[in-house]
Amino acid sequence: MPLRPPRVFESSFYRSPMSAQLDIRFGTDGWRAIIGDDYTFNNVAACAAAVAMDVQVTDQAHRGVAVGYDTRFQSRQFAETAAEVIGSRGIPALLSDRPLPTPALSYAVTTHDAACGVMITASHNPPEWNGFKVKSDAGGSAPPDQVERIENRLPSVSFDQVRSARAVKPEIHDIDMVSPYLVKLSSLVNIDRIKAAGIRIAVDSMHGSGAGIVETLLTGGTTTVHEIRSDINPAFPGMKQPEPVEDNLGPLIARIDDSGFDVGVATDGDADRLGVVAENGSYLTTLEVFSMLFHHLKSRRNLPGGAACTITMSSMMDCLAEHHGVDLYRTPVGFKFVGPAMLDNGCVLGGEESGGYAFAGHVPERDGPLSALFFLESMAMSGKSPTELLAEIHEIAGPHSYRRIDVEFTDDESDRIAVAVNGDAPTSLGGVDVVNEDRRDGVRLDLRDGSWAVVRMSGTEPLLRIYAEASSADQRDAVLSDFRAHLGV
């Protein structure tokens, strides 16, 4: 299917004073916009009204809707607006009593048997953004058909309907969604084993809603947890955006270098992603972490099932799946694809390149704190450091070097970029022939030597993403350079 610039960035506006003819589109993970520009209380209310209409039309109103929010500017107020609109239509609205991780909201959807969930968050986007995620009744990302129904109902939401709904002020049920989530995490991971391992852990919550989760669960043993950037600060100072990638984890890396921690773990703004820093201060790529988690679940926990991952994940996973005698299922980018693939194929693990990983026995949704706990469990059960655990992977799959480049583009450039991406693919990259082409999501090119490259448009930001993995950094960079030249970026 030909690519186009994601419409999530197009303006949403009122075309007449009486009708909210909204042009809101949901990307790979909900609708996101800039606060005070497109992201307004009326537009959030309109999205909530469309969700409520869909719940009613599908005869699920009696089940209610769970609503959560992160630590961004006015997220609580936006969540209250969404809950009020949903409640005004006679649907029970369950509102979290505090900021919480997105996976905690997802889990609450299942424990309360809600029709769906709404999470007010822009995840890892810059601080001026906020967003509106919809979760299915299984707790995962809303599937494409559900999202399409909600989008299609938006044009029928009138300004008067939005204003009237906000004026009703129905009863909203504030509930604790965090405590049950903590209990669930402790049932999935050997918490006592981690607490007794004497691991010195630095946790960077990046001023997001994951603050306190890991520390609360691991208090009381010889393992120690030291949190940084755990206070609420919607400005997310000292970083471009609350995304746990190397460029944003300077304070965590410095703390490990200065204080001798055994490992550093970081979660993003809504705590559905994980970043890991090894004991030597080196950043582990998300592809390495996913591979390490998979190997741990198969070799030490002996859990059944293969893995589901996106087309942008490492070829190390192919080697590991073969090593453990299980199948690997690749999907387009987005957990709305990964989650169902996990469930349909009985996978033990699912993940995507952005650092979001999901686990069997839990909701089919990315979970940053749970990912951190499983990583810590691998250290506790093996007695090995992060670098030693990575060496295990390299012994099986060989060395791999990965890099992603994000290229920003303007509206004026979007058509040219779309033409370049949708055009003919190169026949070689980095001096190596292309042997396979996959256009399920952007373009993935597999090379004769096992290297690969992908180009695709972000579904949540105005970015062109270019990925590559090879057996060495030099070859990886040669592949990236040739691909960028071919695309003209």
- Which domains are present in the chain? 7-177 (3.40.120.10), 189-397 (3.40.120.10), 401-487 (3.30.310.50)
pLDDT in tens, 431-462: 999 999 999 989 999 999 999 999 998 877 78
Q: Report the SS3 class of residue 133.
A: strand
- Lowest mean pLDDT segment, chosen from 170-179, 184-193, 289-298: 170-179
Per-residue confidence (pLDDT) for residue 369, from 0 to 100? 99
R_g of the chain, CA atoms, integer Å:
22
Q: What CA–CA distance (Å, rounded) separates 401 from 229?
A: 30
More confident residue, 117 or 158: 117
pLDDT at 169: 74
Q: Check residues 30 and 219 and name the one with the higher pLDDT.
A: 219
Specify whether the CB–CB gap between 71 and 100 falls below 8 A.
no
| Helix, strand, coil fractions of the chain, as percent rounded to 5 | 40, 20, 40
What average pLDDT does this structure show over 91-109? Answer: 98
pLDDT digits (tens, 9 = 90+) for 385-423: 999 999 999 999 998 999 999 999 888 888 888 898 999
Q: What is the pLDDT of residue 171?
A: 78
- Detail the DSSP E strand segments found in 219-327: 224-228, 263-267, 274-277, 283-284, 307-310
User: d(Cα 26, Cα 24) in Å, to the nearest integer?
Assistant: 7
Q: What is the model's pLDDT at position 3?
A: 39
* Euclidean distance between CA atoms 255 and 226, whole angstroms: 10
**Residue 443: exposed, middle, or buried by beta-carbon count in 10 A (0-12, 13-18, 19+)?**
buried
**Among residues of the chain, what percentage have pLDDT more than 90?**
83
pLDDT bin (cut points 50, 70, 90) of residue 331 is very high
Q: What are phi and psi of 169, to 5 degrees?
A: 55, 60
